[in-house]
């Protein structure tokens, strides 16, 4: 049993269009972006949310990108 496969198997699946309740933690790389993280450490990049940093917001997933180091979720304020 591979520990990495086991870890990936228990991570929640997120689909485009799904709504999530997240706490916006800090600024993203691009102007206006804010970052949030899921419980499993998956980063969520939220566009046009910089003014909401430090608050909880409902976001709608616009895309999910699988990278070599994990998953990144892109979203907008719902």
Q: What is the pLDDT of residue 71?
A: 86
Nearest to 22 by CA among 72, 47, 59, 67: 59
Averaged pLDDT, 37-44: 92
Q: Is the pLDDT of residue 4 over 80?
A: no
Which residues fall within 8 angstroms of residue 38, CB to CB, at 6 or more apart?
A: 12, 14, 20, 22, 44, 73
Averaged pLDDT, 49-61: 98
Residue 29 tokens read as: 């790389």
Write down the pTM of the prediction.
0.87
Q: Is the pLDDT of residue 8 over 80?
A: no
Per-residue pLDDT reduced to its tens digit, 11-39? 888 999 999 999 999 999 999 999 999 98
Q: Look-up: residue for tokens 């979720």?
A: 73
């Amino acid at each position: 049993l591979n520990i990495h496969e086991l870890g990936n198997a228990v991570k929640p699946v997120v689909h485009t269009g799904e709504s999530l309740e997240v706490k916006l933690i800090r600024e993203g790389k691009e102007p206006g972006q804010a970052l949030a993280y899921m419980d499993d450490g998956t980063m969520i990049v939220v566009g046009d949310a910089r003014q909401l940093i430090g608050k909880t917001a409902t976001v709608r997933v616009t895309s999910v990108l699988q990278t070599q180091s994990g998953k990144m979720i892109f979203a907008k304020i719902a």
